[in-house]
Structures are given as structure tokens and as C-alpha cells.
Amino acid sequence: MIKTIKNSLWMKIFLSLTILLFAVSFLLYGIVTAVMPASYRSQQTMGYTEQMGRLVTELENGTVDDAINHIYEFCLNHNAVATLSGKLNTVTFGEGSTSDEKQPAQTATANLKIGEETYQLSVTISGRLVNQLTKAFWNLLSIISLLILSISIIAASAYTHFLAKPILKISDISKRLAALDMTWRCDTTRTDEVGILARNLNTMAERLDIALRELTTANAKLQEDIEQEHRQEKVRMDFFRAVSHELKTPITVLKGELEGMIYQVGEYKDRDKHLRCSMRTIKEMENLVKEILSVSRMAGSDFSLNKAEVNMTALVQSCCRKWQGLAEDKGQQLIAGLNECTCVGDRDLLEKAVSNIIGNAVIHSENNSVIRVSLRENVLEVLNTGHIPEGELERIFEPFYRVESSHNRKTGGSGLGLYIVKTILDQHRMAYDINNTEGGVRFIVRLS
């Protein structure tokens, strides 16, 4: 119970107000109980003195019989005892005794003359009414105390509700805000300190909400960057493993040829013939290394595109002429339908990408087939008569991946051609796609 009171503002205010109201009310009742009888007695004395003066005047202006009637009536109305004493006799009026009363009786004496005879009038006023008033206050003490307590509880409850409700509401909202629920706001219609607190809390919540949103965005961006870095790291590791594998084969071949020529083993005695074979292997390795260096350079963090406006029509025409000789050797028709088109990018890299796309189509198309190159509305499309199994389309852009099952460089290429295309187009943020059609394989690049 004590812990509940300590932890509850409402209970603290309610109990404090209840005790305060009850104590003040009970104190006021005690003061009234103590002061009221004395005040009443003082007023009663002043009244009796005034009435005693009027009674004496009336008695002096009348006869003895009239005096007796007036005194009797006075004693009856004021619960008094009176004695009228003359030379010959004494007459007593009223009933009861005042000797055992807690409040002392008040006695007034006056000499008066009725007719020719002088009398002495003694009037004693009982303190019984004062005693009864005091007793009545004490008899009502339990009822008044219960009434005071009830009123104190009701008043304290109402005032506590009025005073503590906005504070409790602010406290509840602050708990929600502490739980990072920024959808709640305090009532700001009040103009007092509670209203100022509510407005300050709202301002803090709004700023905290903005900060949390910025932090969430920053965290999401950081997480995205981390994931991107992990992906790039995985790509680099896969690339280096593939490079090691790709270089291992020609190096092994070259090493075997050189050892055979050194020790003049079998057919390797003809050094001139095998030196030419070794030279071809070295050239293949040289081309492979150049492509690897090109990819590595573009993958570097300090790489930037040398952007300028590029005439794509002239660029595609140049690439078609480059591969025209091989196409004619294979009896292929390289048909180009080109509209005027320009874009912004790195001309050398775009030329390499387009050349690889067209060369890939020429190399992997059958003899005596048709290869179509079109450039319309900033879309480059290359269509050849080859075919790529559907299961291998997703892997076509992986480094050193060859669709040709034997993985022979002479028939399947180095495996870096389309990977270089992908890297260049990604650097330019150009959309691209490769898919099978009824007529063959279609490669699309959107030059936007």
C-alpha cells in the first residue's frame, strides 16, 4: 500500500488534500464549538440587560398587580427566577435551580418604586441554554466528522482528478514516446505550466521522430552499403579464384611445351614449330591478362567514367565493320539498321561493350546465318541465330563462364566478354537483357 502511494501522483495528491480538508474542517468545527457558547452567552447577557431595563420601567409605571404579571411573564419567557422584595413581604417567581449547572447563572438586581412603596427586584437567568448548545455540538460531533470526511473525500477526488489528469496523461504519452511510439501527441490547449510542458514534450517528440527517421534511413543505407560491399567482396574472391584457374591451364601448357623443347622429348625436338605454339599460348594469356586488368580497373573504388556525348550510330557502325571480316569468313550476313542516336557516357568503354556484344553474336552463330543489329529510339538490339539453354541464361554474365560445354577458349572464348559488358553497362547504369526468341538469341541495351 505504501509503495503504491509512493509510486502514484494521484494517490499522493488525493490523500494530501483529503487530510488537509478534513483537518481544516474539523479545526473550524472545534473553534465554533468553543466560541459559539461564549458568544451566545455574551449576546444573551446584553439582551437580558436591555430587557431588564424595560421591565423595570414597566413595573414603575404600573400597580403591584401589574408588576406581578409582568415579572411572571418575563420569567416564563426567559426561563428566569425572580424575587420581588418589599418591606412587608417577598414574592418569588419562576421554577428550577441553577446551582448545579455547569454554566454560572447571571443575576441582575434593581431597586424600583411602585406606587409609594420601594421594592428590590432580583432576576437570575439560567445558563441551561448555553449548556444545551454546547452539548448539542458534542452530540453532533460523530455525524459532523463523518460528513466532513465524506465531503473532504469527494472534494479531494474531484480536485485531484482535475489537477492530476493532464499530468497523468502526459506521463502516459511520455511512456509511449519512451517506447519509440512517436504517433502520440499531448494536448496543447492549456496555457499554464502543464500546457508548456505538453508543448515542449511534443516538440521533443517531433525532433526525436525526425532524428529516428534519419537514423533509420542512415542505418538502412549503411546496411545496404555493407551488403553491397559483401557482394562485391564475394564477386572479387570468385573472380580471383576464376582468374587463378584460367591462368593455371595455359601456364601448365606453356611449361610442358618449354620443358619438352629443353629436353628435346619426342616431337618437341622441332623447336621452331612448338615455339610458335608457345607464342600463341602467350598471346592468349596476354589478351586474358589485358581483359583481367580492364575488369580490375573498372572495379576499383577510384574508377570514374570519362563521360562525354557519344554518337552511338557511328560507334555501332565501327563495331560492325570490325567484325565484318569474321562474319564473311563464316558466310554470315551482318545486317545493321541504325537510326541517329546519341548518349552520354565513356566512349572507349561503350565501344568495347558494343564490340563484345556483336563479336559474341558472330562467334556463337552458325555458319551462313544472319545477324541483325538495330539502333532505334536509344535501344540497341543484337539478334543472332544461336541458342542459350534457359538454365544458363542467369549465369551468362558470370566471369569465365562459357555456355560451350567443353570450355575451350577457341570455341567458347575467354569467358570474360559478357562479364566486361555487364561491368561497363552497370557503370553507366544502363538497363540490359539477354533472352531466347524464336529467331535466336536477342541482346537488348537501353542507352538512357
* Long-range CB contact pairs, 34-41, < 8 A, 24+: 36/133, 36/137, 37/103, 37/130, 37/133, 37/134, 40/129, 40/130, 40/133, 41/103, 41/127, 41/130
Phi-psi region of 136 (alpha: psi -120 to 50; beta: other; left: phi over 0): alpha
Mean local confidence (pLDDT), 262-282: 79
Spatial distance between the Cα atoms of 49 and 45, rounded to a whole number of angstroms: 6
What's the one-letter identity of residue 114?
I
Residue boundaries of the structural domains of the chain: 2-152, 189-240, 304-446
What's the one-letter identity of residue 154?
I
Q: DSSP characters for 214-243?
A: HHHHHHHHHHHHHHHHHHHHHHHHHHHHHH
- pTM exceeds cut of 0.85: no
Q: Which fold has domain 304-446?
A: Heat Shock Protein 90 (3.30.565)
Q: How confident is the model at residue 340 (pLDDT cuts 50, 70, 90)?
A: very high
* CA angle at 427 for the pair 426 and 431, rounded to the nearest 5°: 35
Query: Which stretches of 381-430 are DSSP H helices?
Result: 409-412, 417-427
User: Given this model, what pLDDT does residue 379 score?
Assistant: 93
Q: What is the pLDDT of residues 69-110, one digit of tens each?
A: 888 888 877 777 888 887 777 888 876 544 444 545 667 788
Q: How confident is the model at residue 3 (pLDDT cuts 50, 70, 90)?
A: low
Residue bearing cell 595455359: 250
Q: Which residues of 362-389 are buried (b: 16+ CB within 10 A; e: fewer)?
A: bbbbeeebebbbbbeeeebbbbbbbebe
CATH number, span 2-152: 3.30.1140
Residue bearing cell 537483357: 433
Q: Which residues of 29-54 are buried (b: 16+ CB within 10 A; e: fewer)?
A: beeebeeebeeebeebeeebeebbee
Name the β-bridge partners of 436: 441
pLDDT(195) > 90: no
User: Given this model, what pLDDT does residue 411 score?
Assistant: 44
Mean local confidence (pLDDT), 267-293: 78
User: Picking from 2-16, 59-73, 135-149, 188-202, which range would have the lowest pLDDT averaged per residue?
Assistant: 2-16
User: Given this model, what pLDDT does residue 70 score?
Assistant: 80
Q: Contact at 8 Å (CB) between 164 and 147? A: no
Q: State percent of the chain over pLDDT 70.
A: 84
